[in-house]
Amino acid sequence: MPKKPTTKEEPPRPIGVFDSGVGGLTVVAELRKLLPNESIFYIGDTARVPYGGKSQATIERYSQELAGLLLAERAKVIVVACNTASALAVQSLEETLRVPVIGVIRPGAEAAVKATRNGKVGVIGTRATVFSKAYERAIEALDDEIEVIAEPCPMFVPLIEEGWLDDEVTNRVIARYLEKLLRAGVDTIVLGCTHYPLLRAAIQRFVGPDVALVDSAQNTAIAVQKTLKQHKLAAPKTKHPSKLQVALTDPSTAFLRVAEEALGLGVGEVLPRAVQK
């Protein structure tokens, strides 16, 4: 009898993650911890960072383009590891894509509601995220008695992209932005940009130990885990090892330094991806 042709086993489809730059790797780090068997394909839009001062139409266009690049890599879910894009573009992605889309706003809001003791929550983020009031709506939907005080911090992203995580200039900028929140009596601050956890130590030093800092990275990883289970997309046991692939839309040595040193991620070879400016 003729032998049946052998079929080559395809590697599992990856989780697709995108952000405007380095910040989304905080989400990737949590995904690697929680879901070690899952492969991840990450795109950092370093050619167009930061997103925070751009219009909703522009953010939606960027997000659709990056999602398309991830789908070309066979992504089974799209994680929008960017608060600005989560606030302004997740709905349009959900309407057009055939794979699950997970943003970071709701997971961050859930973490804040659990953390606050006095019902006063500060939110820091890009101008676009803060002005969208996405966190206010998400927190109010969970607990409408919580007071939210928001403050845009547009200079944080460039400082982080430069790798200035422990620098006197950065410390002064932190003080300038966060004094208002401390005067308002917040006991919890949402790091409403996936870049900001890289400044967690410096921010915590300024606000003191009695103010809880929460970010969406861990809760987003949990949301991804639930979504994979719900849609039966979890990676099966296979001979193919899980891997992290990183692509950038513009080379960034600072990006690699921050990722590898601050997050303990082995990025390896970085792939180029072209986008429209």
Q: What is the spatial distance between Cα 75 and Cα 67, in angstroms, rounded to a whole number?
A: 9
**CA 196 to chain CA mean position, Å:** 10
In contact, 234 and 256? CB cutoff 8 Å: no
> Residue with structure tokens 């930061």?
50
DSSP assignment of 16-42 equals EEEESSSTTHHHHHHHHHH-TT--EEE
CB atoms within 10 A of CB 252: 20
CA nearest neighbour of 211 among 244, 189, 239 = 189
Mutual orientation of helices 105-115 and 134-142 as an angle, nearest 10°?
A: 50
In contact, 198 and 170? CB cutoff 8 Å: no
Return the structure tokens found at 114: 């659990």
CA nearest neighbour of 104 among 244, 256, 214 = 214
- Give catalytic residue positions: 82, 193
Q: What is the spatial distance between Cα 77 and Cα 13, in angstroms, rounded to a whole number?
A: 9
Q: What is the spatial distance between Cα 235 and Cα 39, in angstroms, rounded to a whole number?
A: 8
Name residue 40's beta-bridge partners: 15, 244
CA-atom Rg of the chain in angstroms: 19
Return the structure tokens found at 159: 């400082």
Kindly state the helix (H) or strand (E) to which residue 160 belongs, with its residue range.
helix 156-161
